Chain A
Amino acid sequence: MSTLTMQRNNLWEVTSRTIVYAAIGAALYGILLVAQLPIPGSTVSVRPAFALVPFFGYAFGPIVGFFVGLVGNGIGDQISGWGALTSWNWSIANGLVGLIAGLAPLYLARWVNGDLRQRAIGGAIAGAIGVVIGFMFVFTDVILQGVTVGATLTLYIQVVIGDLIGTIILVPILVYAWEPVKAQLGR
């Protein structure tokens, strides 16, 4: 079952399928985070792996999307040695991106229920909305870390631009690649 055919009332269902897709997405996100492309002069990178967060949310639901972002970012931090819990608010922000993208059937129903081209475009739109809104959670650093609003805004803009680029390019490609396979599997 995917969010592309989900109804409003089963968006929040947690089954073995939900858990397995979430775990795969989180593991892939963590693994591919090692392939980051740094933006010179910043602490942020263009991350091809990040597209997995909105994609998994859009394709498999808000719970999968939230798990992939939250746990996947934690796993990436864990592998790098930073520690899964050190930047917990950033992990939550990543999770919110996936959650918001997974709620696409609620606010992008026309795109989600359209043909393949419309569903791919819908994925990019849902991902973009998720990135812009979800990463607003990083402004908690102003309260938690005492970072100025200006510095956090600088960081936010860098993150959003980097991840928007990856999301808008990769999510439609992933949707195009996944849909025929999904049809073959009968899901």
Chain B
Amino acid sequence: MNIAPRYLGRGSWLARRDPRVLILVVALFIFTVLQVWDIRLVLGLLLIAIGYYRSAGIPWRHIRRNWAIVFVFIGLLVVVNTIVAGGDVQSLPVEQTHVLFYLPLLGTPISAESLTLAVTMLMRYLAMATIGFPVAFAVAPSDFGVAFHRLGVPEKFAFGIDLTFRFLPSLANDLQTTVDAQRIRGFNWSAGTTGFLSRLRHSVPVVVPTVVNAIAGAEDTIDAMDLRGFGTSRRTWLRDLAYDRTDLLVIGAFAALLVAATIGGFSGVSSHLWTPPFLIELAGR
């Protein structure tokens, strides 16, 4: 069972950046996108995200399924939001919108504005997911701890993040061993069962032994850390991180984008929905 994060972007331009750059860019970009509602500007941000994503060199064939899940998740979220909103768009009541049609059965009005809002939301989510993918596949798993520590996370917790990634392969193996051991005893982990409750109960013979064994086996790790004086003095890291000029340029560019979005948001330039005129004309016919 391969559960460990896959370092698919190894060797790419983005993977050669300081890992802190990828983490900071996600934070800067997400807060940029959150302030922009003009679909034209959101499209621009999406294109920036796509360019950034392509620089990670992540092979498409390895992540097709991941993207499929992302599209389905985002699509469902947007559809649910559109239906539940009942035609209202931000602060605009449905009476002031330009209705295109009504959804059958539900009767929810779909207006030029609500359609624009749905597409804008879809693009916003896509942009954020696109920026997030390189963090998943273009950062070496062993770099997360030191990267978060250098970003200000207390060293014990940063080491905890490191330890979490180190435990992934071994615990995944333990899970597989437990599944195999239970199979020998007649338990079928992959057998179809009906109903959520029965499927939940079906997971108990695997989940419980795996968890208890993992916790019991932690004693050796705890003793090893104590014997090495964990937490008694300031810790150093094997990997030394240092920004180069390119790293600083990338961070600066995304920071500038955030500042621009913030100014645009406060001035009202980018924080309002822009409905394409052709949709409004379509509603008028």
Contact = CB atoms under 8 A, between A and B. Distances in A.
Contacts of B129: 82-83, 86
A5 to B, nearest CB: 15
Which residue of B69, B157, B209, B221 has the most chain A CB atoms within 10 A of its CB atom? Answer: B157
B153 to A, nearest CB: 11
A75 B168 contact: yes
A170 B161 CA distance: 25
A28 B167 CA distance: 9
Interface in B211-250: 211-212, 214-216, 218-219, 221-222, 225-226, 230-231
Given A46-B200, A177-B208, A21 B218 contact: yes
A145 B121 contact: yes
B200 A169 contact: yes
Given A81-B137, A86-B30, A144-B34, A20 B163 contact: yes
A67 B160 contact: yes
A171 B109 CA distance: 44
Interface in B1-58: 3, 5, 23, 26-27, 30, 34, 37
A75 B26 contact: no
B254 interface: no
Given A146-B121, A185-B219, A19 B133 contact: no
A24 interface: yes
A154 B90 CA distance: 18
18 contacts: A19-B157, A19-B225, A28-B171, A42-B76, A71-B161, A78-B136, A81-B63, A85-B135, A88-B30, A145-B34, A145-B124, A147-B121, A148-B84, A148-B88, A151-B77, A154-B84, A177-B209, A178-B215
Contacts of B85: 148, 150-151
A149 to B, nearest CB: 9
A144 B214 CA distance: 37
A30 B160 contact: no
Nearest to B120: A146
Contact of B175 (A14, A32, A46, A79): A32
Q: Across chains A and B, which 8 residue pairs bring their CB atoms closest together, nearest first?
A: A83-B132, A81-B66, A86-B132, A23-B163, A27-B167, A151-B81, A150-B84, A16-B225
B70 interface: yes
A178 B212 contact: yes
Chain B contact residues, majority secondary structure: helix
Interface of B: 3, 5, 23, 26-27, 30, 34, 37, 63, 66-67, 69-70, 73, 76-77, 80-81, 84-86, 88, 90, 117, 121, 124-125, 128-129, 131-137, 156-157, 159-161, 163-168, 171-172, 175, 196-197, 199-201, 203-204, 207-212, 214-216, 218-219, 221-222, 225-226, 230-231
Given A17-B222, A81-B69, A177 B164 contact: no
Contact of A43 (B76, B221, B226): B76
B134 to A, nearest CB: 8
A10 interface: no
A51 B161 CA distance: 20
A96 to B, nearest CB: 16
A81 B70 contact: yes
Contacts of A155: 77, 80
A85 B132 CA distance: 7
Contact of A30 (B81, B168, B214): B168
Contacts of B67: 81
B208 A31 contact: no
B80 A165 contact: no
Residue among B128, B165, B167, B212 facing the most chain A CB atoms (10 A cut-off): B167
B126 to A, nearest CB: 11
Interface string A135-151: 00000000011111011
Contact of B207 (A48, A144, A146): A48
A84 interface: yes
Given A20-B163, A21-B218, A173-B208, 12 more contacts: A20-B218, A20-B221, A26-B160, A30-B164, A37-B199, A48-B203, A71-B161, A85-B135, A86-B26, A88-B30, A147-B77, A181-B215
A17 B125 CA distance: 38
A121 interface: no
